[in-house]
Structure 1
Amino acid sequence: MVFSKKFQFVIPFFLFMLHLHASTAQNIGGYWFAGSGFPASSINSTLFTHLFFAFADINVTTYRVTISSSNSVPLSSFTQTVQQKNPSVKTLLSIGGGASNPSIFSAMASQPSSRKSFIDSAIQLARSNNLHGIDVDWEYPSTPSDMQNFGQLVTELRTSVVIEARDSGKSALLLSAAVFRSSNYYSLNFPAKAMNDSFDFLNLMTYDFHGPNWFPNRTAPPAALYFQTNSGAYQVGGDQGISSWIAAGVSPRKIALGIPYYGYAWRLRNASNNGLYAPANGSAFGGDGSMGYNQIRAFVSQNGARCVYNSTVVTDYCSSGTTWIGYDDVQSVTAKVNYCKSRGLFGHFVWHVGADNNWALSQTAYNTWKM
């Protein structure tokens, strides 16, 4: 980057825009993707402040942000559709996701020219489809150079967004990122200062801690807020991750806690031993054992499952026969939203809105914020 007189003008304007973007808590985000089979027109957008269109892709040759042909029409109408019920809801284009190839992100971020291609095309795609922001979902930077390049990318992204807003006369695009639960990715530190300075908020993926494919021998909470020592499970919790990001220098008012609208099903070894950390034998239904919240509630209803809320780690679980499911229900969602309030966080977000059950979780979260 050439540090010209033009760039010298950017610095005070950059700080001014960061001040404008400083937000109070009680922000509720929700991810939606066209492939879910859940139409955008069915989203109860009155229960959200931010909605994310998932996902845009990165071209492996040009490093431009692109949208698939199947997603182009839903994207073009996304903002208009969700604002019919809530005119003030903000929409963001999420780029990447768990199914994307992290090596493409790595290659893109490694060179100034490819970073510029990514940034310019992301801004253009968001603007041309009337979205209010960009969400970067790189899962995950996994080398020291990746982390350094990620910091450079987000700094240049913020600068470009500020310049584009100045030149267009429009409000600056919002910038967010979906990030690992902790400020370090298996001993590699994220560029926390650059991220705090550049992003309006960070969506912490505080879920997928345990599942039957990678923790097959015991039941465990997939998205616990706190961990229980001496449980035999991997000791990880959402509070631990949030505290690490704050300790790394990210403002609590830029942190959103992730809440999954899905859980995981284990097969119990003994139907009578059906609590947390009970002996298990992998997935109850094959695959990775994941189930949407609406599917879980249907299972409970159809099987008369016994449901329990554990306030120590903050999780819900249910069991019927040898099937055991760990998930978030209204009790754990209420506790997590109250936690966000008590810590002065930006808010929370959910993956994904189409898996709710008659908006039970979303309405609970919304009502809890308003209490």
Structure 2
Amino acid sequence: MVYSNKFQFVVSFFLFMLHLHASTAQNIIGGYWFADSGSPAADINSTLFTHLFCAFADTNPTNFTVTISSSNSAKFSSFTQTVQQKNPSVKTLLSIGGGASNPSTFSAMASQPTSRKSFIDSAIQLARSNNFHGVDIDWEYPSTPSDMQNFGIFSREFRTSLISEARNSGKPILLLSCAVFRSSDYYSLEMPSKAMNDSFDIINVMSYDFHGPNWFPNRTAAPASLNYQTNSGAYQVGGDQGIRSWIAAGVSRRKLAMGIPYYGYAWRLRNGSNNGLYAPANGSAFGGDGSMGYNQIRAFVSQNGARCVYNSTLVTDYCYAGTTWIGYDDVQSVAAKVNYCKNNGLLGHFVWQVASDNNWALSQTGDCQKFLIPFVDT
């Protein structure tokens, strides 16, 4: 019996290593589907993706178990079966948290061994019972030194639990991914990069929301530029800068997926004749935070005869009509970013969110990333 248990463990570990190698040998095209987008999962063209993230499950702030709301229960339980009808090989992950979740709940959960265990065990159980292939952690964001330390501990404990659960159940090990800040430091606080690299299969870097009219109201700017200029007088940040920081922190390129937004932000120009990047502006063009899905932006262009411009230096698109100016990613910038991921040996890219595409124009551009390359661990 002892020999049998040891043999089973060796076999399980070997299968885990094969799974890990396989997951990192394929370049991924990830897409988040937001249950409240108004677009059903059945509408997703899953043939254009390798991984789909079903967003979002919640965390109970009292006992720290992961839950799925009653309004999302049926959508989530059928998600994998639904998207695999068009693409039987697509992998699905249950995403927990998101930008609207309370970061203090994550912080409290990660601070104690018992609450971490409650979260991890319930997340695994929910993923299994709803037929997902993995779990995605979207904590926005760890923001204190203790948060960073605890996130590292949490990451390692989650990986250990996944290995143990797969060994005990005889099922393939679940994937583990996370959505993280644009760079490896959160406003000078270093993320636990070593623990993350050791624990996660996929690290989705949110390379967007660099600028928007609510927090950058006085000048237009690229919401998700790949590169940046040093002479514009604007706050400088770029996707390449963030990706390089993660690599410098010791995270393997073959764990990193760069985020591409299927949305942009609309500013109100002070003068419609001054309509380039960094033009004087007066906040949001349409109220709220000024965000617009790509499909809404294309409708605006069509209805208003807006002029569209691609800036190859920053790798961003923008359009304008009258005093409305919108910064976003279009086919040119998406193609350039996909090539950037390929040329820099990244695991791939992901998008937020699939329902905002326009007749799958952006996703078809990203589909050129679907190919196999040798495993590289750097």
Task: Report what 2:174 is aligned to.
Answer: 173
Task: Give the whole-Å Cα distance in 1 for the aligned partners of 2:18 and 2:75.
Answer: 33
Q: Offset of 1:15 from its aligned partner?
A: 8.2
Task: Give the whole-Å Cα distance in 1 for the aligned partners of 2:18 and 2:136.
Answer: 19
Task: Report what 1:325 is aligned to.
Answer: 326
Task: Give the whole-Å Cα distance in 1 for the aligned partners of 2:124 and 2:253.
Answer: 27
| 2:96 alignment partner, SS class | strand
> Is residue 45–residue 85 contact of structure 1 (8 Å, CA) maintained in 2?
yes
Alignment of 1:177-196 (within 5 A): 177-196=178-197
Runs in 1 of length 4+ with deviation above 4 angstroms? Answer: 9-16, 368-371
Alignment of 1:20-35 (within 5 A): 20-22=19-21, 23-35=24-36
Aligned residues: 365
RMSD: 1.8
The verdict on how the C-alpha distance between 1:164 and 1:370 changes in structure 2, with shifts beyond 3 A counting, is closer
What are the superposed Cα offsets for residues 297-353 of structure 1, whole Å, 9 maximum, x if unpaired? 000000000000000000000000000000000000000000000000000000000
* Matching of residue 74 in structure 1 with residue 75 in structure 2: yes
> Is residue 10–residue 162 contact of structure 1 (8 Å, CA) maintained in 2?
no
Alignment of 1:261-276 (within 5 A): 261-276=262-277
Q: Offset of 1:21 from its aligned partner?
A: 1.3
> Is residue 27–residue 369 contact of structure 2 (8 Å, CA) maintained in 1?
no
Task: Report what 1:3 is aligned to.
Answer: none
Alignment of 1:12-27 (within 5 A): 17-18=16-17, 20-22=19-21, 23-27=24-28
Task: Give the whole-Å Cα distance in 1 for the aligned partners of 2:240 and 2:368.
Answer: 22
* Matching of residue 42 in structure 1 with residue 38 in structure 2: no
* Matching of residue 198 in structure 1 with residue 192 in structure 2: no
Alignment of 1:88-103 (within 5 A): 88-103=89-104
TM-score by length of 1: 0.95
Task: Report what 1:164 is aligned to.
Answer: 165
Task: Give the whole-Å Cα distance in 1 for the aligned partners of 2:87 and 2:135.
Answer: 20
Task: Give the whole-Å Cα distance in 2 for the aligned partners of 1:32 and 1:285.
Answer: 25
| 1:69 alignment partner, SS class | coil
| 1:30 alignment partner, SS class | strand
Code of the residue aligned with 2:318 in structure 1: it is: Y
Task: Report what 1:346 is aligned to.
Answer: 347
TM-score by length of 2: 0.94
Task: Report what 1:358 is aligned to.
Answer: 359
Code of the residue aligned with 2:200 in structure 1: it is: F
In structure 1, stretches of 5+ residues that fail to align are 1-5
Q: Offset of 1:367 from its aligned partner?
A: 2.9
Task: Give the whole-Å Cα distance in 2 for the aligned partners of 1:13 and 1:86.
Answer: 27
| 1:218 alignment partner, SS class | coil
Task: Give the whole-Å Cα distance in 1 for the aligned partners of 2:332 and 2:121.
Answer: 43
The verdict on how the C-alpha distance between 1:11 and 1:179 changes in structure 2, with shifts beyond 3 A counting, is farther
Alignment of 1:1-371 (within 5 A): 17-18=16-17, 20-22=19-21, 23-367=24-368, 369=370
Task: Give the whole-Å Cα distance in 1 for the aligned partners of 2:35 and 2:370.
Answer: 28
Task: Give the whole-Å Cα distance in 2 for the aligned partners of 1:62 and 1:10.
Answer: 32
Task: Give the whole-Å Cα distance in 1 for the aligned partners of 2:93 and 2:192.
Answer: 22
> Is residue 25–residue 341 contact of structure 1 (8 Å, CA) maintained in 2?
no
Task: Give the whole-Å Cα distance in 1 for the aligned partners of 2:51 and 2:117.
Answer: 26
Q: Offset of 1:233 from its aligned partner?
A: 1.5
In structure 2, stretches of 5+ residues that fail to align are 373-378
Code of the residue aligned with 1:97 in structure 2: it is: G
The verdict on how the C-alpha distance between 1:11 and 1:109 changes in structure 2, with shifts beyond 3 A counting, is farther
> Is residue 342–residue 369 contact of structure 2 (8 Å, CA) maintained in 1?
no
| 1:70 alignment partner, SS class | coil
Q: Offset of 1:24 from its aligned partner?
A: 2.5
Q: Offset of 1:174 from its aligned partner?
A: 0.1
What are the superposed Cα offsets for residues 197-233 of structure 1, whole Å, 9 maximum, x if unpaired? 0000100000000000000111000000011111121
Task: Give the whole-Å Cα distance in 2 for the aligned partners of 1:158 and 1:11.
Answer: 17
> Is residue 109–residue 116 contact of structure 2 (8 Å, CA) maintained in 1?
yes
User: Among the aligned pairs, what percent are the same residue?
Assistant: 77
Task: Give the whole-Å Cα distance in 2 for the aligned partners of 1:170 and 1:196.
Answer: 23
